[in-house]
Structure 1
Amino acid sequence: MATVFLTGASGFLGGHLLRELCAAGCEVRALSRRAESDNAIAAQGGIPVRSDLADVASLETALNGCEAVFHAAASTSMWRAHAAVQTATNVQGTGNLLRAAESLGVQAFVHTSSVSAYSHLEHRTLDESIPQRGAESWINYERTKYLSEEAVRRAGLPWIVFSPSHILGPGDRHNWARLIMLVDREKLPGIPSGSGSFADVREIARVQVRAWQRQRFGEAYLLGGEHASYVDFVHRVGAALGKHTPRAATPAWALMTFARAADAWSRVTGKEPDVTPEGAAIVCETLRVDSSKAKRELDYVETPLSTLLADTLAWMKQEGLIAE
């Protein structure tokens, strides 16, 4: 039985990775910082381990005897007030984990990056041959995902990098689930003018474990899904829930104007705004992702959006996040 170390196990993707690794017969030590997370991890078959990405010594203790590291923890905040903490988590934290893994001779480092490492500045359909532009971005999340991925590529460890697009599926409480809950309450103020590529969280977890098992070291994979405009996505949610939704997209200039005003007010109140200029910039862009490499080499499956959305809504109803 292989022993692996997992970060982000209490999160959306990390929770699915925990289940897939346990199903593969691994002993999974999962980084946990709270008793609440301990219970959730243990319930899924993992072993909660007290550690901190800011503390190399604690990471070395946690990693001792591990064959592989699956790093899925990250700060996804789009608020500039969180930039320093986000950089510490995404960049310094990843570097600390890499140093601990190298010092102990860990045999594999499987890293969850993001399409954000390519940046919203890139308007072409993304594939692995396109240079990443995250270093050029004014959005801290994009810069930190680029820098953390670069650290992984430079490390002296066998690595595999995954860059998912918009992750959707059962288990989501904070990402697209927030938009879905607003639709359910008929309180969605508007729809962004952009579009995205919706990837199944279950497939993302499965393919990461599969890549490790197949030892696809030194390879990077984009993981996309069905492309849809946000107008189409919101209308599908509204139709499935029997709820009224805005008919058309909010113009990009109007959303950005609102976001800038909200950001300015947040500096007075100290409260995170619902929409930030960073978030507005991203959701006003068109994102298309070519998953051909992952399909070819890892048997990656792009779940049809209709199926993926139905599964997500069914889970949210079961959890009481939206009305039956």
Structure 2
Amino acid sequence: MTGTNAKTAAVTGATGFLGTHLCKRLLEDGWAVRGLSRPTSDRGDLEGEAIDWYVGDLFDDETLRSLVDGADVVFHLAGIGLWSAGPETVERVNVDGTERVLEACRDCETGRLVFTSTSGTRRPSGDAEFADETDVAEPIGAYQSSKAQAEDLVDQYAETDGDAVTVHPTSIFGPGDGEFTVQLLSMGLEPTMPAYLPGGLSIVGVSDVVDGLLLAAERGETGEHYILGGENLTYNQAVSRIAHTVDGSPARIRVPATAIHAAGPVAEAASAVAGVRMFPFDRQMAQLATQRLFYTSRKAESQLGYEYQPIEAHLPETMEWYREDVR
């Protein structure tokens, strides 16, 4: 039960994959939790939890001000990607929506803002094997561009008006994620998925990212950025380890990078002919998909005390969810 002296957290994006896990952890730790929820949002596993719901969206100024007023920490997780919307909507939600949250914080008595961006705004430079917070990259696509613009807004807020830090999770793995997690598991489990991708990425468990968010709220330095990453694995390594741990059927055929590169212009042409962007894949994204996008979390480890676990540690809970809710 939440005590009268409990800290209060305001969470945008509360009903999303990461937001759901964060809200559950906050409640477990004794926080009073306020969640922003659109009228049409499915509250899923949070239904019935002791969350004070504020019904509206990022463009409902009155609701936003009520949400953040008096909060000790505002966790701004709300955003949208290109799988769900076109570039204009992505920019409106991720950039303009972030500005609305910052304006609400300026207008109210609000504590620290923790903004969740993406590791995609950073990439290894030159011959470097890993990217860190200083490796600011030229954005590829509307999603990365919108997140980079939102980061700039948060940095300006931290410099002039308030207390804010930015975190950059890498590829988040865990129960409740119907996109990346399901794709990765299917490559490690399903005989009908014989192929894996070239390249690699940093895979981090959702519970580790939640730990990082709480550490950023408690120990982060105003205006700073922190990569919240996990193990750097090629797709082949990740798929093989999943299959070995859960007795699966690993994908054995590596999709040639040239095939993926060739698909990029095809996607561009299809989108151009249709007059709309049909899916978030063009020649730049095709090039990116075959790279080893590896990251280091040394800064978060040294300054926040951040730690992460190997992918095997996250498999029991994730597999239980996958078998019950996905298969």
TM over 0.5: yes
Aligned counterpart for 1:108 among listed residues 85, 109, 112: 112
Residue 219 of structure 1, aligned match among 221, 224, 248: 224
Partner amino acid for 1:118? R
Residue 301 of structure 1: SS of its match in structure 2?
coil
Evaluate the alpha carbon distance shift between residue 43 and residue 227 of structure 1 in structure 2; reply closer, same or farther with a 3 A threshold: same
CA distance in 2, matches of 1:105, 1:10: 24
Contact kept, 8 Å, 2:54 with 2:63, in 1: the verdict is no
Match of 2:169 in 1: 164
Are 2:33 and 1:28 equivalent residues in the alignment?
A: yes
Query: Quick check: 2:190–2:248 contact (8 Å CA) kept in 1?
Result: no
Task: List, as ranges, runs of 4+ consecutive aligned residues in structure 1 with deviation greater than 6 Å.
Answer: 120-123
The CA distance in 2 between the partners of 1:210 and 1:63, in whole Å, is 20
Change (3 A) 1:131 1:273: closer
* 1:195-253 deviation per Cα after TM superposition (whole angstroms, max 9, x unaligned): 11111110111221133233643332111111110122223334435325233x22222
Offset at residue 66 of structure 1 (A): 2.2
Instruction: Figure out how many residues of one structure are paired with residues of the other and give that number.
Output: 316
Deviation at 1:273, TM superposition (A): 4.4
SS of the aligned residue for 1:43 comes to coil
Alignment of 1:52-131 (within 5 A): 52-77=57-82, 82-119=86-123, 124=128, 125-128=130-133, 130-131=134-135
In the TM superposition, residue 171 of structure 1 has moved relative to its aligned partner by 2.6
**Number of the residue aligned with 2:179:** 174
- 2: CA distance, partners of 1:211 / 1:9: 18
State which of 287, 307, 312 in structure 2 corresponds to 1:306. Answer: 312
CA pair 294-119 structure 1, distance change in 2 beyond 3 A: closer
Judging changes above 3 Å, is the alpha-carbon distance between structure 1 residues 199 and 84 closer, same or farther for their aligned structure 2 residues? same
Shift of 1:75: 1.4
The TM-score normalised by the length of structure 1 is 0.86
What are the within-5 Å matches in structure 2 for residues 122-201 of structure 1?
124=128, 125-128=130-133, 130-133=134-137, 136-155=138-157, 156-181=161-186, 184-188=189-193, 190-201=195-206
The answer to whether the Cα contact below 8 Å between 2:9 and 2:71 also exists between their aligned partners in 1 is yes
Residues 24-61 of structure 1: CA deviation (Å, up to 9, x unaligned):
22211111113553464343432221121123233123
Distance in 1 (alpha carbons) for counterparts of 2:123 and 2:256: 21
**Structure 2 unpaired stretches of 5+:** 1-5
- 2:295 maps to 289
- Matched residue, 1:254: 259
C-alpha change, 1:238 and 1:258, in structure 2 (3 Å) is: farther
Gaps of 5+ in 1: none
Tell me the SS of whatever aligns to 1:320: helix
d(CA) in 2 for partners of 1:40, 1:320: 12
Cα deviation for residue 123 of structure 1 reads 6.4
Instruction: Judge conservation of contact 2:118–2:170 (CA < 8 Å) in 1.
Output: yes
Q: In structure 2, what residue type is equivalent to 1:93?
A: G
CA gap 1:271/1:321 in 2 versus in 1, 3 angstroms: farther
Would the alpha carbon gap of residues 35 and 86 (structure 1) be closer, same or farther in structure 2, given more than 3 Å must change?
closer
State how far apart, in whole Å, the 2-side matches of 1:123 and 1:113 are: 25
Q: Give SS of 1:37's match.
A: coil
Say if 2:123 and 2:135, in contact at 8 Å, map to a contact too: no
**Share of identical aligned residues, percent?**
27
- Residue 267 of structure 1 and its aligned partner are, at CA, apart by 5.1
Offset at residue 153 of structure 1 (A): 0.8
AA aligned to 1:99 is: E
- TM-score, normalised by the number of residues in structure 2: 0.86
The separation in 2 between residues aligned to 1:158 and 1:309, in whole angstroms, is 36
CA contact (8 A) 1:132 1:146 kept: no
Does the aligned pair in 2 maintain the 1:41–1:48 contact within 8 Å? no
